[in-house]
Amino acid sequence: MAAAAQPIPNSQTQKRKLEKSKLLGKAGGGPGASLCVRTSSRSARAMNRSSQPLFSGAHTGVPPTYEMLKEEHEVAVLGAPQTAAPVTTTVINIRSETSVPDHIVWSLFNTIFLNVCCLGFVAFAYSVKSRDRKMVGDVTGAQSYASTAKCLNIWALILGLLLTIVFIIICATGSVMIFQSVSEVAKGYGGY
C-alpha cells in the first residue's frame, strides 16, 4: 500500500484532529484501513521488551477507546523511559545487638552524688569506653565495658546508701546526746 501524502498541520488543533483520524482508521481509506504507527528503532525495541500488547482492548473483549489508543500511541512513539545511569540499591543492616546499654547517666549520677572511693568516677570512665566501643562497632568490647560499669555503679550505690544511712544515724544519735548533755548542764546550774 502506498502511503498518501498528508498535509502538514499548522496549528495544534489541526494536529490533534489528524492524530485522532489516524488512530480511528479514517486517514487512509475508511474504516477498514489498517493503522500505521511510525516508531523509532529504540521505541520498537522497548515495545518488544514489554509484555503488554499494543492494543489492550483487543485481548480483553472491550473495544479500545480514543484515550486508550492515544496513550498507547504516545508510549509507542516515545518509547519506554530510558536512563543513562544503572539502577543501584543500597542495603543498610541494622543489628539489634548493637543496643548495648552503657549506663552513662547512672554513672554520672554516682559520680556527682555517691562518689564513694571514686567508684562513681571509675564507672563513668568505663561507661564512656563502652559508648566508644559501641560507636566503632565492637559489640563484645562494649558489652564488657558496660558490665564493668554496671558492677561499679551497683557498688557505688550500695556503699553510698550505706554511708548516707550511717551518717543519718550518727547525726540523730549525736543530736540526742547533745540535747541530753545540755539538759544535764542546765539542771546542774539550776540546783545551786
- The 3-state secondary structure of the chain reads CCCCCCCCCCCHHHHHHHHHHHHCCCCCCCCCCCCCCCCCHHHHHHHHHCCCCCCHHHHHCCCCCHHHHHHHHHHHHHCCCCCCCCCCCCCCCCCHHHCCCCCHHHHHHHHHHCCHHHHHHHHHHHHHHHHHHHHHCCHHHHHHHHHHHHHHHHHHHHHHHHHHHHHHHHHHHHHHHHHHHHHHHHHHHHCC
Q: Which amino acid is at 31?
A: P
Check if the beta carbon of residue 64 is closer than 8 Å to that of residue 53: no
Q: Which residue has the cell 539489634?
A: 96
Using only the alpha carbons of the chain, give its radius of gyration. 45
Inter-CA distances, 40 with 5, 45, 58, 79, 111, Å: 20, 9, 24, 8, 77
- Single pTM value for the model: 0.46
Check if the beta carbon of residue 111 is closer than 8 Å to that of residue 160: no
The predicted structure's pLDDT at residue 91: 80
Inter-CA distances, 123 with 1, 91, 114, 134, Å: 92, 37, 11, 16
Q: What is the pLDDT along the chain (192 residues), one digit of tens a residue?
A: 455 555 554 566 666 666 666 665 544 444 444 444 444 444 445 545 554 555 444 455 667 777 777 777 776 666 656 666 676 788 876 665 557 898 999 999 999 998 888 999 999 999 999 999 999 988 899 999 999 999 999 999 999 999 999 999 999 999 999 999 999 888 888 755
Check if the beta carbon of residue 57 is closer than 8 Å to that of residue 30: no
d(CA 142, CA 130): 4
